[in-house]
Chain A
Amino acid sequence: MWTFLRRRIISSAIPLIVVIVGVFALARLTGNPASLYLPLNATEQMREDFTARNGFDDPLLVQMANYFGGVLRLDFGVSLRTGEPAGEMVLRAFPATLQLAGVTMLLAVVLAVIVGSWAALKPNGIVDRISSFASMAAASIPDFWLAIMGIWVFAITLGWVPTSGVSSPTSWLLPIAVLLMRPFGVLVQIVRGAMVTSLSEPYIKLARSKGASEVRVVSRHALRNAAAPALTVAGDLAVGLINGAVVVESIFGWPGIGKLMIDSILQRDFAVLQAAVLLTAISIFALNILIDLGYAMLDARVRPTTRARKRRVTPAAAQERKLNVQPTR
């Protein structure tokens, strides 16, 4: 496992550098931030001073070299906007995002597993149809709209939760509910598909042949096998949450990394942007590695080259095989 980890970490390093270099270059394309940070009638001299002070007049490669040199010393530069070290700002914002994303994903997975499994028990049944519609609709509502609706209904009209902020435990409810929608909607589809597949696998019949109850069959046999595809998709969705809860964070005043990132983009606060991207990219790569580990834990198979002699493949058997590999929706 350690060799696996080492290999993965090494193989993630280059993409990571590419991401940072890309962000670095793209950010510089958005123009000199001088006018944003200097008084409206700043003189040419002031502009030049500003530019020189921040090293924006160096060739891009030199800037990059300086930056990476700093990163190696854990110096991520200073925010143009607040004058704070960018690293500190990012590390402060990141836990908020992580907590939000973590709780959201946890809930999404749990709910999706319950709803998805239930739907899979009777493909095309009434539960399936309803949950399919509902989850799809949930996933396609614009999040900011839902957020403001939620504030209006639950905070103002009903007064159950605070409108926004992080002041009390109840203030988690709305952001999570809003963020939950898309992961939940997508995951329900995936879990359902994987469960339909899993429930038609031969080992389910085997479990039934031992007299296992329906609950046992679903929860112990089908679910564990359906977990792998769901895990992969959940990983992708979590990446989305880590990278992009911008809208929800800015509406609810959630002091997270998404908000910080968009602010630093709009404010051309390059050091903060780069630090934020670096941190999120690292955590995304780490997440991917975790998912691979989780995958291995869920399923002991290393995809061996066991190749049974395929004798007498009947049309029905061929058909069944096909059914088994393809989730219906």
Chain B
Amino acid sequence: MSSPLANPQLPPGGRSVTPPSTEVIALPRTLDTSKPGLFHLLLKDRFATAAAIVLVLVGLTALVGPTLMGDLATQQNLSATNRPPFSLAEGWQFILGSDSLGRSMLARLVVATQTTLSVALPAVGISLVIGSLWGVWAGFHRGWRETISMRIADVIMSFPSLLLAVVVLYVFSPSAANIVLILALTRIPIYLRTARAESAELQSRTFVDAARTFGTKPAAIIRRHVIPVVLPTLLTLATLEFCYVMLAESSLSFLGIGIQPPDVSWGLMVAQGRQYLQTAWWLSLFPGLAIVITTVAANVLAAWLRIATDPAQRWRLTLKHKRKRFIARMPVKEVA
């Protein structure tokens, strides 16, 4: 502090001449709205945007694909089997090659989208709903309800799900609905455990106590205060499970107890294509890629969504890259 007046931060002309410009920091005026819209936020994140586009495409495919290409997907042509992909010689529908029965890979992939989703989504949905509600209920009430629920979860977790699959699929009938049932049943504990833990923690929160002081019934408290809070966590979990369920379905197909032909799912396509790995790699690669891309997209979007819907974390998304060090160290006046 030998020469305090030589403070480099003071404008040369003295502070009375120019009002210090350090007060207002240049704010991006375009961002004035207090809540940047979700969509707007999405567009700012390239990865999340790409993921969303992928998922929308997958969804659309599942919706309209079968009506557009349903016939094509079952049309066999025993004289044109295992045609390699990326050739238009056989027509556009064989751009991804043909399968071992001469069916268009493209069409089958498209049709399989619907089956795959119609297994994975309900399976995830059912286990999500049952597991979450049950877990929330058990965690909220604690005590014996919690203990018994957790023991039931233990039982399901250590139960061989394959046996269940065999029983349901052979004793009852091997339908997509039954696969959904098995997958849903065996994944319930995942949600049950998470929901229970969160709900047990929530039930001791002050705002829940507050609701109790009005005489609010437990069911109403769960509905109003617990479920909205645990939902984001459970939804994130559900996207991870989405991947798991697709893989489990393909493993079932591998063992011959999954989706049954002539229905077709990505998992089944990979499973059946595996024996052609050396002669016709495209039979298993494309559906495998479809699984990978969809789950990665779902997870990227879920991670993003979770941050985006959490008021406490939202800021992470809007950050630009860290400024370079030299800018950060610039004297104040130059910043303004």
Q: Are B47 and A262 neighbours in the complex by a CB distance under 8 Å?
A: no
Q: Are A137 and B292 in contact, with the CB atoms below 8 A?
A: yes
Chain A 150-166 near chain B by CB (<8 Å), digits 1 or 0 = 00100000000000000
List 13 A-B residue pairs with CB atoms under 8 Å apart, sorted by A's residue number: A15-B154, A18-B155, A19-B155, A23-B163, A29-B167, A133-B300, A137-B292, A140-B292, A142-B267, A189-B240, A236-B190, A243-B161, A285-B158
**Least CB separation from B254: chain A residue:** A144
Which residues does chain B contribute within 8 Å of A247, judged by CB atoms?
Answer: 251, 254-255
Scoring A residues 139 to 153 as 1 if CB is less than 8 Å from chain B, else 0, what string do you get? 111111100110010
Contact with A along B144-184 (1 / 0, CB 8 A): 00000001101101111111101100110000000000000
Is the beta-carbon distance between B166 and A145 smaller than 8 angstroms? no
Docked Cα-Cα span, A329 to B304, in Å, equals: 8
Quote the shortest CB–CB distance from A24 to chain B (angstroms): 11
**Residues of A with C-beta under 8 A to B299:** 136
Contacting residue for A30 out of B157, B167, B277, B303, CB 8 A: B167
Give the contacting residue for A266; candidates B166, B240, B291, B300; CB below 8 A: B166
Chain B CB within 10 A, most for which of A12, A23, A144, A328:
A144
Q: Which residues of B contact A129 (CB under 8 A)?
A: 47
Proximity string of chain A (162-206) to chain B, C-beta cutoff 8 Å, 1 when within and 0 when not: 000000000000000000001000100100000000000000000
Tell whether A319 is near chain B: CB-to-CB under 8 Å. yes
How many Å from the CB of A296 to the closest CB on chain B?
17
User: In the complex, A319→B310 CA distance in Å?
Assistant: 10
User: Contacts A30-B167, A142-B288: A244 and B161 contacting too (C-beta < 8 A)?
Assistant: yes
Q: Are A328 and B278 in contact (CB under 8 A)?
A: no
Besides A30-B166, A144-B274, A149-B277, 10 other A-B contacts (C-beta < 8 A): A26-B163, A31-B170, A123-B316, A129-B47, A139-B243, A141-B291, A144-B250, A261-B162, A273-B163, A326-B313
In the complex, chain B residues whose CB is within 8 Å of the CB of A243: 158, 160-161
Contact of B158 with A142 in the complex, beta carbons under 8 Å: no
The 6 closest A-B pairs by CB, nearest first: A322-B312, A140-B295, A329-B303, A281-B158, A284-B158, A142-B250
**Are B158's CB and A140's CB within 8 A?**
no
Interface residue ranges, B against A (CB under 8 Å): 47, 151-152, 154-155, 157-164, 166-167, 170-171, 190, 240, 243, 246-247, 250-251, 254-255, 267, 270-271, 274, 277-278, 284, 288, 291-292, 295-296, 299-300, 303, 306-307, 310, 312-313, 316, 319
B interface SS class: helix
Chain A residues with CB under 8 Å of chain B are 11-12, 14-15, 18-19, 22-23, 26-27, 29-31, 123-124, 129, 132-133, 136-137, 139-145, 148-149, 152, 182, 186, 189, 236, 239, 243-244, 246-247, 261-262, 265-266, 273, 276-277, 280-281, 284-285, 288, 319, 322-323, 326, 328-329
What are the residues of chain B within 8 A of A18 when measuring CB–CB?
A: 151, 155
**Complex-state Cα separation, A173 to B47, whole angstroms:** 34
Bound complex: CA of A22 vs CA of B163, how far in Å?
10
CA distance A240 to B317 in the complex (A): 34
Contacting pair A143 B247 (CB below 8 A): yes
**A30 engages B155 (CB within 8 Å):** no
The answer to whether B288 and A239 have CB atoms under 8 Å apart is no
Residue pair A145, B292 in contact (C-beta under 8 Å): no
CA distance A200 to B274 in the complex (A): 46
**B246 / chain A contacts, CB cutoff of 8 Å:** 140
Residues of B within 8 A of A281 (CB): 158-159
B204 to chain A, nearest CB (A): 11
B155 touches A15 (CB 8 A): yes
